[in-house]
A and B are shown apart, each in its own frame.
Chain A
Amino acid sequence: MWSGGETARRMQRRGRGAGGRDGPGERTIVTLEDVARAAGVHYSTVSRALDPDTARQVNVVTRKRVAAFAKRMGYQKDMVASGLKRGRTHTVAVVVGDLGNPNIAPVLRGIANRLEPAGLMSLICESQDDPTRLERILNHLLSRRVDAVIMTGARLGDGPKLRRIRRQGIPVVLAVQNVPGIRLPAYTNDDDLGGELAAQHLLSLGHRRVAQLRGPADIYSCLQRAQGFSRTIAAAGAMEVEVRSTAPTGSPEEGHRMMRQLLDSKRALPTGIFAHHDLMAFGAITAAEERGLVCPRDVSMIGYHDLPHVERVIPPLTSIHQSREELGRLAAEALVKMLSSADGPPPSRKLPPTLVVRQSTGPPRDFR
């Protein structure tokens, strides 16, 4: 079927490929009129025959013939043009901050699985966590007429942008990330509870001196995680050492950098550390190992997200697990409701995360 050299050679043969024929403006789009001409009927008959709402007005024989011609000729209804007339394009834009975040694919799947049976197509845009790019994307989406927007990576500063879309009459649903005070339906994990679970786990092992490696300060889920963690630690009368900086991205490099800050500080090293992302926890463990420290003997590490292969790393990482596909499904479900009924937006939901204990956490050294 395949052969390396041959494929390349075949590809090199200059044929009438797409590039050869398709200069701008040479597009050969099959129109309603083309189908009408071929079928020998008036174009309004074609229009009626192909629209499920009006197909019954055309007699069966003609209807079938028109449908067969349309299919054979590759006719596609111009959804954008008909969207201009009817105000629907059956398209939902899903805006993602970072497609490289291993959490996001299951959310997108949950969204698509629910939108598809409702006859809606999801198209994905990546802002790469850049506010200017997000602005461009949202402007583009507005002018390209989508029926609705699901925003999965909202940051605290995105409120005005999202409200502007909402004001233009386009339903917006938030997934994964909420923005406080925005009053849009939001489907998120209970990140405050996630922080609390991490703190309780470390406390139960006997840790009295802990620290957090925090995610971005403008991401609500990270603020919530930090808040739940700090509150629980303070309530137990334990000590939290503050790492001033936050990580702009959940990467091993950032975890490494922040752990180094803790290791370089003159203060005693905390024995229990809560990283806001599994990948940051990996980097932090590496930084500790570089100083001759062993996890969990010298320092316990707990991550967040329970990424698919954290059980294969050394030591297998204790982490907080949250639902992903279900979150996407709920967001899409809310959107479908908003598009089909005039009732107010459905209520927001928070799903509870769970703690997954592996081998990166243990009792503190002086506790043994």
Chain B
Amino acid sequence: MTLADVARAAGVHYSTVSRALDTDTARQVNVETRQRVQALAKRMGYQKDMVASGLKQGRTHTVAVIAGDLGNPNLPPVLRGIAGGLEQGGLMTLISETRFDSARLERILNHLMSRRVDAIIMTAARPRDAPTLRRIRRQGIPLVLAIQTVPGIRLPACTNDDYLGGVLAARHLLSLGHRRFAQLRGPMEFSSCFLRAQGFSQTVAAARAEEVVVRSTALWASPELGGALMRELLDKKGVRPTGIFAHHDLTAFGALTAAEERGLTCPRDLSIVGYHNLPHNDRIVPPLTSIGQPREELGRTAAEILIAVLTKPGPTPAPRLVRPFLVVRKSTGPPPKAY
């Protein structure tokens, strides 16, 4: 369905159709013709060719959002917040998944640039991606980081205050009387996990309590990897930690199962704090204490920043931090008496 098809049906020149359908020029066409053309265009299902008009005006009204792992239940609410916020600005959201593969990220970015997206929101940035991100920025495509940030890259960013999340988890366990801790960490190249770990470790150290280090980290948020980390911890020699901080609820689920397999009961023998406060944490056994964060709010804030960048050229907006909160359920309690 082209402009010419509508013109033929309406019995007018195609430039008249073009003018009648463009809000900027519609007044140049007399009311009767304009209304007839608009009605016909609608009936015939004519779509203004945004590709061609994007080529002329230099805007495609499309924003690409790059996700690492769409299977992470933490992500969809953030994406919804982004899409909702961008919609307000008349922008359409397209989502791509990298699965944390640098080669795929490169392919995706090249593809997006060749489609001339107006801007990109990156939710899975790692330090190793910095050169790629800098290249995009050099080409003049506005780029906003969400969820994950990269040190020194000087891009607008909106993240959760993950450092505070780690602090909250440590304080909760300390207040219950735990003195020996461990973390089941996510990848340290993610700012979110690095900062969670740092907030936790520094709070534990400041209280002169002890932290046992599990060297491995879980690349994916999955119960299987959580189970593996927990087994690594339980296989260690020495006194077993009683306060455990898992960087993801799914990791915590797997850790609970692994602990049960060794005859340990939560929270009698050990306490576990998860992260993300996933919807059915209250139905698992035991209901999981977790750190929650306003996910849609994070997405909406990222969209706001992007719209600001697109509409008001100026200095890079300051990074925004969204505050997490502690939700206490039944997976945490005082340590066993022997401790």
CB proximity of A32 to chain B, nearest CB, Å: 13
Docked-complex contact B310 and A24, CB < 8 angstroms: yes
Please name the residue on chain A nearest to B250 by beta carbon.
A309
Residues from chain A with Cβ under 8 Å of B279 in the complex: 252, 279
Docked-complex contact A7 and B51, CB < 8 angstroms: no
A285 to B199, CA, bound (A): 38
Residues from chain A with Cβ under 8 Å of B52 in the complex: 84
A309 to B47, CA, bound (A): 44
Q: Of residues 152 to 196 in A, which have CB atoms within 8 Å of B's CB atoms?
A: 164, 167-168
Docked-complex contact A4 and B195, CB < 8 angstroms: yes
A25 to B152, CA, bound (A): 27
Docked-complex contact A18 and B96, CB < 8 angstroms: no
A17 to B75, CA, bound (A): 26
Docked-complex contact B92 and A137, CB < 8 angstroms: yes
A312 to B83, CA, bound (A): 32
Tell which of B92, B95, B285 touches A313, judged by Cβ atoms closer than 8 Å: B285
Please name the residue on chain A nearest to B55 by beta carbon.
A81
Docked-complex contact A144 and B315, CB < 8 angstroms: no
Cβ of B223 < 8 Å from any Cβ of A? yes
Cβ of B50 < 8 Å from any Cβ of A? yes
Docked-complex contact A80 and B95, CB < 8 angstroms: no
**Binary per-residue interface labels of chain B (109-131) against chain A in the complex, 1 for a CB within 8 Å, 0 otherwise:** 01101111000000000010000
Q: Of residues 1 to 17 in A, which have CB atoms within 8 Å of B's CB atoms?
A: 1-4, 6-8, 10-17
Docked-complex contact A8 and B321, CB < 8 angstroms: yes
CB proximity of A146 to chain B, nearest CB, Å: 10
Cβ of A242 < 8 Å from any Cβ of B? no
Cβ of B13 < 8 Å from any Cβ of A? no
A74 to B191, CA, bound (A): 28
Cβ of B147 < 8 Å from any Cβ of A? no
Tell me the count of chain B residues lying within 8 A, CB to CB, of chain A: 87
Residues from chain A with Cβ under 8 Å of B113 in the complex: 76
Docked-complex contact B50 and A143, CB < 8 angstroms: yes
Docked-complex contact B316 and A19, CB < 8 angstroms: yes
Docked-complex contact B253 and A84, CB < 8 angstroms: no
Known contacts A20-B316, A143-B47; decide if A108 and B97 are in contact (CB<8 Å).
Answer: yes
Docked-complex contact B140 and A26, CB < 8 angstroms: yes
Cβ of B89 < 8 Å from any Cβ of A? no
Known contacts A7-B151, A19-B156, A80-B116; decide if A312 and B284 are in contact (CB<8 Å).
Answer: yes
CB proximity of A166 to chain B, nearest CB, Å: 12
Chain A interface, DSSP helix/strand/loop, else mixed: mixed
CB proximity of B251 to chain A, nearest CB, Å: 12
Q: Which of A7, A11, A167 has the most CB of B within 10 A?
A: A11
Tell which of B71, B110, B156 touches A106, judged by Cβ atoms closer than 8 Å: B71
Q: Of residues 120 to 134 in A, which have CB atoms within 8 Å of B's CB atoms?
A: 121-126, 128
Interface-facing stretch out of A37-45, A97-105, A207-215, A216-224? A97-105
Number of residue pairs spanning A and B whose beta carbons lie under 8 angstroms apart: 226
Cβ of B45 < 8 Å from any Cβ of A? yes
Docked-complex contact B135 and A308, CB < 8 angstroms: no
Q: Of residues 152 to 175 in B, which have CB atoms within 8 Å of A's CB atoms?
A: 152, 154-157, 163
Cβ of A91 < 8 Å from any Cβ of B? yes
Docked-complex contact B154 and A123, CB < 8 angstroms: no
Please name the residue on chain B nearest to A124 by beta carbon.
B95
Cβ of A23 < 8 Å from any Cβ of B? yes
Please name the residue on chain A nearest to B127 by beta carbon.
A1
A309 to B320, CA, bound (A): 33
CB proximity of B129 to chain A, nearest CB, Å: 14
Cβ of A60 < 8 Å from any Cβ of B? no
CB proximity of A30 to chain B, nearest CB, Å: 7
Docked-complex contact B151 and A29, CB < 8 angstroms: no
Residues from chain A with Cβ under 8 Å of B58 in the complex: 24-25, 27
Docked-complex contact A74 and B138, CB < 8 angstroms: yes
Residues from chain B with Cβ under 8 Å of A79 in the complex: 111, 114-115
CB proximity of B41 to chain A, nearest CB, Å: 12
Cβ of B280 < 8 Å from any Cβ of A? yes
Residues from chain B with Cβ under 8 Å of A167 in the complex: 45
Docked-complex contact B47 and A142, CB < 8 angstroms: yes
Cβ of B318 < 8 Å from any Cβ of A? yes
Known contacts A13-B154, A80-B54; decide if A4 and B198 are in contact (CB<8 Å).
Answer: yes
Chain A residues with CB under 8 Å of chain B are 1-4, 6-8, 10-30, 74, 76-81, 83-84, 89-91, 93, 98-100, 102, 104-106, 108-109, 112, 121-126, 128, 136-137, 139-140, 142-145, 164, 167-168, 252, 279, 282, 285-286, 308-309, 312-314
Q: A2-B151, A84-B51, A109-B70 are in contact. List 12 more A-B contacts (CB 8 A).
A: A2-B191, A13-B154, A18-B309, A22-B140, A24-B59, A24-B313, A80-B54, A84-B52, A99-B95, A126-B80, A143-B47, A282-B280
State the 8 A-B residue pairs at the shortest beta-carbon distance, nearest first: A17-B316, A23-B313, A105-B71, A79-B114, A4-B163, A100-B76, A27-B140, A143-B50
**17 sampled A-B residue pairs with Cβ under 8 A:** A1-B188, A15-B316, A18-B137, A18-B143, A18-B144, A22-B141, A22-B142, A27-B58, A27-B139, A29-B116, A80-B116, A84-B51, A100-B76, A109-B71, A140-B50, A140-B61, A143-B49
Chain B residues with CB under 8 Å of chain A are 1, 45, 47-52, 54-55, 58-62, 64, 69-71, 73, 75-77, 79-80, 83, 92-97, 99, 107-108, 110-111, 113-116, 127, 135, 137-144, 149, 151-152, 154-157, 163, 188-189, 191, 194-195, 198-199, 223, 250, 253, 256-257, 279-280, 283-285, 308-310, 313-319, 321
